Amino acid sequence: MVDIEYKRELEAKRERVEDIFDFEGCKVGRGTYGSVFKAKRKDGKDDREYALKQIEGTGLSMSSCREIGLLRELKHPNVMTLHRVFLNHTTRKIWLLFDYAEYDLWHIIKFHRTAKVNKTSFNVYPNMVKSLMYQILNGIDYIHSNWVLHRDLKPANIVVMGEGSERGCVKIGDLGFSRLFYQPLKPLADLDPVVVTFWYRAPELLLGARHYTKAIDIWAIGCIFAELLTYEPIFHCRQEDIKTSTPYHKEQLERIFRVMGYPSDDVWPDMRKMPDFPQLTRDSITRKAYGKYYLEGYLMEKRLTWDLQSLLTIDPLRRPSAEDALKHDYFKIGEKPNEDVFGGMPIPYPKREFIADDEPDDNKQPQQQQQQQQQGAAAKTGGVPQQQPQPQQQQHHPHQQKVQQQPTGGVVAGGSGMHTVQHYPSASVQPPMHANMRGYPGGNMAPPPPQQQQPQQHPNYPRYQ
């Protein structure tokens, strides 16, 4: 039995987050599972800005524990950094200290989409999309090479650092859904039947694949790439059912086939082996109905040229790895990717504003219940969303509920975490852990399984060659 006096003495010596960081009145995000504050050190030892995420309740969910465990091991310039975890044994409050990221891809895309709708088109800076994609693939290559699947890649979970030493650096956040995939004891589909937000969910997941691979993350990155080019989600689907507990989703598959076409047996030989393939026939989804659709036709309609179409290869076995994608000529021809995705130019995107502490949060409990229905027994608690003002014409993002209106701004603490309200103007919407970074000098070693080697940190960020 632990001595009471010893516990008190230990508690007195424990560092408290309130004594180290100044964050009062600096709330920048709030969601179902907690709040996020913009913070700076009181002692002035550094002038960095941090994101303090307070997890509400009396403990940690399994997904939060998993995210904390992974982030403590993953050390890479393109992965969000978890610096410290604070636990107050008296109040039972838990605080996570992250990098503070001023922007995320969802806000960047929204900025350009709104400008497009308002006919005040403001295109992304030259080479910005290439730089964004290079860093996203670099980060996911590192994650995959250390036997981790992200399983929830979407624009809101890809953050971009603002002014400072890491200006324009892309970081992958929100690992609450991530899983180790080296020799799992059970199929991943048995542990989490529903993963990845609908619009970014690979077709093998929608057809109930029980054994899936890192190819599901590559598909999501392909969707993000297309969205960066068009400012619209390529597989936008109006029909949403956030309460579904099964991976099959008829409307989402129809949307994919309207862009990609219905795959033949040569294009995807194993499609007929998917557990939910018979449901396609029952729902009258056949090759004949989608014979005139193909990705190249979609790109021609949008007047686009796309160098990385292979990211959306419908057969997961033929989808390239992140390592392969990084070797594509897209990154070798013309201007090279930049560390600063803004290319040293002024940043046009609005910063986030502070949220009043006393604003009501009337929708927290229903939102929490709906997420638990979607994710099964393990509710996702890995992050805190940004909350946005609602335009007059609205379309709700999958798995997202109406929340209290908040000012626009950037993302914090490793991505949106929970699914926030994300609206698309209806006028514009159409019906690795890598021990050596392969995109950097000296990266030519394949990592052994995680139980044989601890992840290697990257103290320096080599410049792009």
CA distances from 353 to 41, 227, 407, 411 (A): 20, 26, 6, 11
Indicate the pTM of the whole model. 0.74
- Residue 120 clears pLDDT 50, i.e. is over it: yes
**What single-letter amino acid sits at 406?**
Q
pLDDT-derived band at 109 (thresholds 50, 70, 90) equals: very high
pLDDT in the model for residue 437: 33
Does residue 383 or residue 213 have the better pLDDT?
A: 213
CA distances from 162 to 40, 158, 166 (A): 15, 13, 7
pLDDT tens for each residue of 268-303: 999 999 988 888 888 877 777 776 676 777 777 776
39 bridge partner residues:
50
pLDDT in the model for residue 119: 83
Does residue 8 or residue 452 have the better pLDDT?
A: 8
pLDDT-derived band at 2 (thresholds 50, 70, 90) equals: low
Pick the most confident of 56-70, 339-353, 364-378, 415-429. 339-353
Active site residues: 152
pLDDT in the model for residue 304: 65
Q: Which CATH number is 103-349+427-440's, of 1.10.1520.10, 1.10.510.10, 1.10.1740.10, 3.40.50.2020?
A: 1.10.510.10
Q: Which two tokens stand for residue 236?
A: 């936008």
Does residue 409 or residue 200 have the better pLDDT?
A: 200
The pLDDT of 323-344, averaged and rounded, is: 94
pLDDT tens for each residue of 221-258: 999 999 998 899 999 887 555 455 677 888 899 999 98
pLDDT tens for each residue of 49-78: 999 988 877 667 777 788 889 999 999 999
pLDDT in the model for residue 308: 81
The pLDDT of 212-217, averaged and rounded, is: 93
The pLDDT of 379-384, averaged and rounded, is: 36
53 known ligand binder: yes
Percentage of the chain lying above the pLDDT 70 cut: 68
